[in-house]
Structure formats: structure tokens, C-alpha cells
Amino acid sequence: MHPRRLAREGILGALYALELTGESKEKVLDDLFVRNSYDGETKEFITELYGNIVDNKIWAEQLISDNLDNWKLERVATLDQLIMRIAVNEIYFNDDIPPKVSISEAIEIAKLYSTKDSASFVNGVLDAIYKHKLNNDKTT
């Protein structure tokens, strides 16, 4: 498995732990690194992306919420929210990752860890977010 896929799955677990335990973001990240073996480049990727996701939680949740059709964010499964927050942060803050890769990875992770309908749901929301970003990028 690609190191970045393992990184994303690790981040998903860390974000879930953060939601459930209320521990500090630093402790949760330290625990992730104690439980898993990552090379230096992957650790750097995880640290940066995880930090962005935690620091931009409210912004990402609002962006996701704005792109839900006839849904409220509170009704979206926690894992699906976390998966989409990972992808949204990659799309907006990781220029070295093509957005289509971020979306594809989110879909695959949703297939593994969430419900049978989650992959198509995550795909639809992230596709709308990406199209919105493309349209905004063209006007600026």
C-alpha cells in the first residue's frame, strides 16, 4: 500500500480519536506515531496535513455543509465528515497532490471504513467542493 494511503488512514484514526477522547491534538498525533511506523517523509506529511485539518475544522465543516444537498452536517456520519475534512484540506492546502487524487483516496477510504453508501456520498460532496474551488480560482 502506498505510504500516503497509510498516512491518510492514520490521520483518519487520529481525527476519530481526537473527536472521541478530547485529548490534545499533540497527544493524539504522538500516539499515532507510537502505534505506527512511518518513514520521515510520511511523518512530515501526516504532521502537516493533520495540523491543517485540526486548525481548519470550522472552515472545513462549513465548506462541507454548504455543499450538502438537503442534508445537515449533524446527520452525516462522523467518519464521512472526517474523510471529507482530510480531502478538503488536501484540495485547498496541498498543491503537490492533484485534487482528483485526494477525492479518489477519500472514496476508497470511505469504502473501507464507512457504510456502503458513503463512497458515492463522499464523492458527490467532494466533487461539488472541487468544482466550486475551480470556479472561484478562475474568477480570481
Full residue range of the structural domain in which residue 74 is found: 3-139
Predicted TM-score (pTM) of this structure:
0.94
Does the pLDDT of residue 140 top 90, yes or no? no
Angle value at C-alpha 124, between 120 and 102, nearest 5 degrees: 90
Domain CATH number, residue 52: 1.10.940.10
Query: CA 69 to CA 67: how far, in whole Å?
Result: 6
Query: CA 53 to CA 55: how far, in whole Å?
Result: 6
Instruction: Give the residue carrying C-alpha cell 453508501.
Output: 117
Q: Are 82 and 110 in contact (CB under 8 A)?
A: no
Predicted local confidence at residue 70, as pLDDT: 84
Give the pLDDT mean for 74-100. Answer: 96
- Could you read off the pLDDT of 10-32 as tens digits, one per residue? 999 999 999 999 899 999 999 99
Q: Are 80 and 110 in contact (CB under 8 A)?
A: yes
- Could you read off the pLDDT of 34-62 as tens digits, one per residue? 999 999 999 999 999 999 999 999 999 99
Q: How many domains does the chain have?
A: 1
Instruction: Give the distance, in angstroms, between the CA of residue 49 and the centroid of all CA atoms in the same chain.
Output: 9
118 grid coordinates: 458513503
